[in-house]
A and B are shown apart, each in its own frame.
Chain A
Amino acid sequence: MLKIEKYSKKYRNNDAYSAKEIDLIAEAGEVCGLVGSNGAGKSTIIKAVTGILPFDEGTITLEGYDIVRQPEQAKRLIGYVPDDHTVYEKLTGREYVNYIGSLYGASKEQKRRAVEELAVTFGIAHALDVQIANYSHGMKQKICILGSLVHEPMLWVLDEPMVGLDPQTMILLRNFIRKYADDGHIVLFSSHNLDTVQKVCDKVAFIRAGELISLTDLRNEKDFDLEAYYLKATEVAANA
């Protein structure tokens, strides 16, 4: 279980909160989507959950491990796909997946699975021995996905995963996210693609100006119109 309690974050040289008193719980088997306009604070929350960004107030725990106090135990359970697909460009795809696997203590079998099965699933097997510097935007995204899954993390975090992907891969990734959660994992992802969020998520957290303004369980609200809700909330924010 992922538990975020009273999480707040202020960046240096900025008095305003980028995230304020966020409370969020995601259980195994759930896909939780973070929705909000640009600069709302989605990435700030995601980076705190993954342990990349230090924070001042609140606690974040994963399976009982505190990301601040027990970072190594907690991080071992996390896989992360960043929004800008930054990877080690001087490595080949295979070397990258191998290396990330080693850092997470993945077994040889897990690494082999990532470079053989997952690479085929995501259509990047042909480029595994090419230096990543020569990859296209979408290919970098795919190799990031492979690297994030090599150790079969309990929590899979994706920041804007659909950006730059072709429609086929978007559908593939959407289905994969759903299946990964159904296999007993937690998926947390941010997206501007409301259609994807509506189709794949169990819960949607709406973030505005660093605050969690609503947490909707889509399983209980079959007719929930996310698009209408989003537009209304954004309009309210713009008028405020």
Chain B
Amino acid sequence: MCATCGCDAEGKVTMHEPGHQHEHDHGHQHDHSHDHHRKVVDVEKDVLHQNDLLAERNRGYFDAKNILALNLVSSPGSGKTALLERTLTDLKGQLQFCVIEGDQQTTNDADRIHATGTKVVQINTGKGCHLDAHMVLHAVQGIKPAENSVLFIENVGNLVCPAMFDLGEKERVVIISVTEGDDKPLKYPDMFYSSTLCIINKTDLLPYVPFDMEKVKINAKKVNHKLEIIELSCTNGEGLDRWYDWLKSKVLVPETV
């Protein structure tokens, strides 16, 4: 597993928490003796078994603490961080948030989130093209999200690789913007297939781009007929209320005895 995220090996994945240092390392050693009989061994194991186990472990932790974990995925530049900045500012005092930021390099996004007064940890994947459950596990250990809070996990900007890796999230939210092609759901179907909500961002730019809103919705529904769709603009605020209503509807009210 460590080979997947590189966490032990050469320190390629790093975590940054404003005002906090966190280090960990653990090695693997295998000793074995040899006995040379040819043998067929049934394995029957999913390749992502280890990731999926850790994802379930994360999910169990989130469920126990009533944390709503959302995995935000998109191509680079579709406005994930802007959506978070806006959401964290507008809903301050109504919901409690914390954020895990995933990028190959820099703490720029974590710094932007930190500026809103929200608890944030940055994962730098080095050359890695996606977050996995192991990285999120370590990030959660560092950030310790509060009970009954919302945890946003902003994945690496990439519409391909993150689709395969369950992080233990409750919902996966795919974001596209109107400056991208309206055939994007067909070109990158796996991400739309595995998501539950699609946000179409930057609707304020619709008059300037050849983006067919109806066509993108039809294309997205072709790939995933259960997908919910919300159109919004983080710049002029149009449609944000629908996103906030969706978010609030997903936050479970803790049961009182």
Bound together: no
Give A residues with C-beta under 8 Å from B.
Answer: none
Binding site for A on B (CB under 8 A): none
